[in-house]
Each structure stands twice: as C-alpha cells, then as structure tokens.
Structure 1
C-alpha cells in the first residue's frame, strides 16, 4: 500500500508542477492571480504605479512588429500596449535571443503548449494586450512572436537597454 501511495503522491505532485507551467499560449482566461515577480536576465515584472512611459506596438500578419527596434534606459518601467492588427493570434514575448529561440523551437514541436508569464502578451486578432516591465539590467534583448512559424518568419524585434 505504501508503494501505491508514493506513486499517487508523485503523480499529484507532477500534475501540480505541470499546472504551474501550463497556462497561456492563447488568450488569458481571466486569471486574477497576482503576477509572480521573478528576476530574469532581461528584467522583472514592473508595477503599474512606476511606469515612466508607454510604448505602443502593433503586430500583424506580415510577421512584423512596429516599431521593430526600441531603446530604454536601465531602471525604466515601461508599459507596452500591444495591438494585433492581423487576423491571426500573435504574441509579444520579451526575452534574450537565446531564450526566445529555444522557446520558439519548443512551440514548433508543441504548438498547443500553454503558459502565462508577465513578459508575455497573447493578443487575439483586433485586440490589445499589455505588459508592464522593469528593465533593471542593461543589454540587448528582444521581443518576438513565438507562435509556431511566426518567429521563424522573422517576427522579432530588438530592445536595447542602456546603462544608467
């Protein structure tokens, strides 16, 4: 009986772990949980009261972002308002080039993969999404649409964070 209980507990733990990583490569479904602020190589989720400016971004079925290049200063909290002008689902994901490339490869293998991170906005056609991000590290980062095939079609932009 103890062996069976251990297997059941392991399965329950694994399901709980998978549940924590498995939300959102589609539209958010009204998740009201607080944003988990985890430091990344490209910054950390920002607080809306600390926003210093808003950057409007459009993305469309031409597989391009407008603007395709942005500059921010280290320490700035930016609100990105991301509008999908196309007919396909698109997303705006901030990361390092290596992290976005790795994630894009996973999306090709598992196009239905879901997760929800504060540096991602999944935007339905004709809708807008928002990210508030604190750039607390200088460097060259990127934003990309990691929907299967979109990254590979060139749907990538650059964020340069200049040191204070």
Structure 2
C-alpha cells in the first residue's frame, strides 16, 4: 500500500510523466513506439522503415526461450537497408522491436499491463513458435540502436540486443 500511495503522490505531483498512449485502449497503444519516435532527439538514430527494393543485405536473427537473440550484436553501415530475417526457434511467442532504450523500456512496461496487445508496426515483428518473419530497416546515422523482445517478462530477463551502426 505504501508503494501505491507513493506512486499516486508522485504522479499527482507531476514527478511521473503520464503517457497519453497508456490511458487509451489497447489498439491505440499498440502504436506507442512509432508515435514516440518524433518526440525523442534520438529518433533519427533509430532509422526508418527501409525500401524492400533497396535491400543491401539480409541478417538472420534467432529468438529462443533462453531469452536471448542470436546474434545479440549486429554491425551495419549508415545508409544500409537491412532485411532482418527473424526466426522464433522457441516454444513461446517472441518479438523483435527496434527502438531507443527508453522507448523499449517504456513499451515493455506497457506490455506487462496489456499482455495481449497486438502490434503492426514496421519496426517490429511478433512471431509464434517456429515461425519466421522479417523487418526491413534503414539505419541513417552512426551510433547504437537497440532491439528487444517486449513480450511480458522477456525484456526484464535480458532479451535485448544492439545494432552498431558505423560510417
């Protein structure tokens, strides 16, 4: 009860920001990562959906029930259009979501509250066990871009990775 009262007081005092997307119904919130891209200076670093006709190369990514991605670090060059061929080799649903560390953390917290949330965004793919899907993405600037599985508990278990973008 003390934790709840403290959270309510912090919220009322304006110490915890309120996201409009958290107050909306599930379908509206499913676009949270995409909606937030324009509000962060780092959004340009994350990149943008790539043109499938201009793919530079494909990178295979495996997701499994050890709560890891293989590989966990991926090197690309700025400007490349990458097709991530993502396979769920586990026995539970997994997903790969590209975003900033802050966006991914926020979205993981929302997924914990709305575990049946469905997604249809270009920066992510959600896969049932044994299925394969893809993300086509272009990285514009050098730096590090995060990706993670935001299924409830997976992010917290360490199911995260990075794309290292060089010049």
Cα 1:48–1:107 change in 2 (3 A) is same
Residue 74 of structure 1 is matched in structure 2 by: 78
* Residue 125 to residue 161, structure 1, CA distance change in 2 (3 Å): same
Deviation at 1:22, TM superposition (A): 5.6
Counterpart contact for 1:21–1:116, Cα < 8 Å: no
Q: Indicate yes or no: 2:74 matched with 1:83.
A: no
Residue 12 (structure 1) aligns with: none
Deviation (angstroms), 1:23? 5.6
TM-score by length of 1: 0.75
User: Structure 2 unaligned runs (5+)?
Assistant: 1-23, 32-36
Structure with the higher helix share, 1 or 2: 2
**Superposition RMSD in Å:** 2.1
Map of 2:19 onto structure 1: none
Aligned residues: 134
The answer to whether the 8 A contact 2:27-2:118 is kept is: no
Give the alignment's TM-score, normalised by structure 2: 0.74
Secondary structure, in 3 states, of the residue corresponding to 2:84? strand
Is residue 50 of structure 1 aligned with residue 57 of structure 2? no
Q: 1:59 aligns with which of 59, 63, 71?
A: 63
Q: 2:96 aligns with which of 92, 95, 98?
A: 92
3-state SS of 1:101 partner: helix
Matched, 1:21 2:25: no
